[in-house]
Amino acid sequence: MQPIETFRLKNGMEVVVLPNHRVPAVNHMLWYRIGAADDPQGKSGLAHYHEHLMFKGGKKFATGDYVRLIDKNGGEYNAFTGADATSYYVTIAKDRLPQVMELEADRMRTITVTDDEAAKEKEVIIEERRSRIENSPPALLAEQMSAALFRNHPYHLPIIGWQHEMDGLTKRDVLDFHAKYYHPNNAVLIVSGDITAAELKPLAEKYYGALPRKEIPPRHWLAEPPQIVGRTVTLHHRNVKQPEFSRMYAAPSMVSGDKAQALPLFVLAHLLGGGKNSALYQSLVVEQKIAADIGIDYNFYARGPAAFSIDITPEKDVPLATLEKALDSELAKFLKDGAEPQALDRTKRLMQAEIIYAREGLTSLSNIMGWMIMAGQPAENFNRWPEMIGAVTAGQVVVAARAVLKPEASVTGYLLPEEKP
């Protein structure tokens, strides 16, 4: 059992401590309940732009101090923006933790950035879009498929933003965004490693406790209309050498829609595409030899509607139509017969083992806990996870599969080489 200790500061900031005394270090991960899905209309990419500018400076520490001091003290730092949340994290020696907390509290209070710095960083995120999206055909296809799957909900926006809207982002947009959302009562601090709540609480009160709470605007996300027709997206791109096939299904999550289906769908994702022993890998790669690789992703911790995604790389010279026909045949067979008991038991054991292995890494430990809390799950569910997975039945998996794997609730994507004139 992973020890879990929690407390809350008077200003509303939640704190979770995950003691792990086998590692003489700590991971400080600060989560904010704000992400790309909260970008104002017409300003996609703002949450991500703000994340970048958070490293410029605060009220006390000037530009470059954050990076310089973390490096000087032997720490490793990073951050990421998701659709639902944004996170900043540092792994460092325990006795250097006060320095990290002082830096984070300073930039939670305010960020300071010059016009030149803001302009330069905007070029950085635009170049990031070019390299990660524009020059990556699979990423471009996934972006277009998400835009087709989520017609109304802000999940149809790319996290990094549309470039024509990124071009118009300003420093004032960032400062207003910060003033609106970056407050202790909209944050969760997760610290894992060689520390206890008794040791952390005085530090949290010293550095974060004096920050005032502010009223956080409620999220107003538009709901999705019913899924009544399947859609297809075809992308021809000059960088494509090997075609790829993708399928996205609209699905519930642990927060949105039929929540009872979330865990069975998570098991389903592993059962169908979780490694070389999974059903689709064995059929399409090993037996039929028409696919080179298969991946399935299901973002069941989404606060809004989720996507259940299947990505397949065909073997050379195998038409995507052949691959699609074989996939649909395998899915139809599964929906009719369900999972084999031995395959289901093996899948659940592997999933239970994964969470045990994740406890060995400080960052992975904090990351899993963070997404659980962002999805409104109690911290103690981390320890209940093996039990929760073990309780999923074959009947629940097939019911969830039949509810989600429907053609009318899907987007199918074809990634193909550029057509010759």
Among all residues, which ones are annotated catalytic?
Answer: 51
The answer to whether the CB of 35 falls within 8 A of the CB of 177 is no
Q: Nearest 5°: CA angle at 328, between 145 and 317?
A: 80
> 230: which 2 tokens?
């399947």
Q: Which helix (H) or strand (E) holds 139?
A: helix 137-149
Single-letter amino acid code for the residue at 251: A
Q: Helix axis angle, 171-181 relative to 115-129, nearest 10°? A: 90
How far does CA 20 lie from the centroid of its chain? Answer: 24
Q: Which helix (H) or strand (E) holds 176?
A: helix 171-181
The answer to whether the CB of 244 falls within 8 A of the CB of 235 is no
Backbone dihedral region for residue 290 (phi beyond 0: left; psi -120 to 50: alpha; all else: beta): alpha
Rounded-to-integer distance, Cα 186 and Cα 194, Å: 26
Rounded-to-integer distance, Cα 22 and Cα 2, Å: 12
> 298: which 2 tokens?
């299901």
Q: Nearest 5°: CA angle at 299, between 293 and 300?
A: 130
Backbone dihedral region for residue 392 (phi beyond 0: left; psi -120 to 50: alpha; all else: beta): beta
Backbone dihedral region for residue 275 (phi beyond 0: left; psi -120 to 50: alpha; all else: beta): left
Q: How many CA atoms does the CB half-sphere of 59 hold within 13 Å? A: 8
Rounded-to-integer distance, Cα 243 and Cα 312, Å: 9
DSSP assignment, residue 73?
Answer: T
Rounded-to-integer distance, Cα 63 and Cα 122, Å: 16
The answer to whether the CB of 296 falls within 8 A of the CB of 307 is no
Q: What is the dihedral of CA 111, 128, 48, 294, to 10 degrees?
A: -150
